[in-house]
Amino acid sequence: MYDSFQADRLIDFWLHEDIGQFDLTAQLMLDEDAISTFHMVAREPMIVAGIKVAERVFTRYDDRLKVTVLVKDGQHLNKGDKLLTVSGPSRSIVTAERPALNILQRLCGIASETARYCKELEGTKARLLDTRKTTPGLRMLEKHAVTCGGGLNHRLGLDNGVMLKDNHIAIAGSIGKAVERVRQHLPALTKIEVECDRLDQVAEALAAGADVIMLDNMSLEDMRTAVKTVNGAAKVEASGGINIKTIREVALTGVDFISTSKITQAAPAVDIGLDE
């Protein structure tokens, strides 16, 4: 879920960025009292994400606009399906159109790409995770879109969990020392994840009591060995260089989670139009 207060702050920025002082074309071309009705239409199959944000773009700009939302986040749409209808002052509709479309196309694109990846995991126990590789300023919304597509959220931010990576371990001197240090003041319900790129590190992380062991850029053979070594004593996450062509092979190694930035960084925007 996303926070509506935070979303309003983003929407205000988007509107100001796009409009500037005023919409010159709308002011010159359209009568002040002109009224219109437009429909957002899917121009390709997609998974919905962010429909309430798109609705809010219109009403945030002009509260006289009436928006009827016709779909729900997470819903699968076919080409030609309507997402929402907006009615009211013509000037306001065409002025707010682009920011509303931009964010909806972006979020539906992420949800749709996430769903593609999740489909590759069917029949395995692995679950798909996102990463912190999100568009600056849009993390809350992009991670919401991932859940709409069937994925799970990893850390929302650096304050959301402990992940000991290679630089942390190098500073501490070893995995064992790093885990021991953070555990001294760790919040009671917070888990410790350790990034490992070698099998000896997996054994060390397991001995140190890590809750989650991340296998970073390991070969499929090493992943299978790591899963056997851990043997359920911790959750195992695979990460690094994973894409739609390789994710199923990774899942079949027996890992619990697979994380990839492809579902956010590389997700193409879907095609949505606003038609009268």
In single-letter form, the type of residue at position 235 comes to K
Q: Which residues does residue 235 pair with via DSSP β-bridges, in sequence order?
A: 212
Q: pTM, whole model, 2 decimals?
A: 0.94
Of 144, 150, 148, nearest in space to 128 by CA: 150
Which helix H or strand E contains 14, and what residues bound it?
A: helix 4-19
Domains of the chain: 4-110+268-275 (3.90.1170.20), 119-265 (3.20.20.70)
Residue 77 has what pLDDT? Answer: 98
Task: List Cβ neighbours of 18 (8 Å cut-off, separation of 6 or more).
Answer: 98, 99
Q: Where are the beta strands (DSSP E) in 54-181?
A: 66-69, 76-77, 82-89, 127-129, 162-164
Distances (CA, A) of 198 to 102, 154, 216, 273: 42, 22, 8, 49
Indicate the average pLDDT of the chain: 96
Residue 1 has what pLDDT? Answer: 60
Q: Which residues are catalytic?
A: 98, 133, 165, 195, 216
Residue 267 has what pLDDT? Answer: 97
Distances (CA, A) of 202 to 12, 37, 114, 124, 176: 47, 60, 28, 22, 11
Residue spans of the chain under pLDDT 50? none
Residue 59 has what pLDDT? Answer: 97
Round the CA-based radius of gyration of the chain to a whole number and report it. Answer: 23
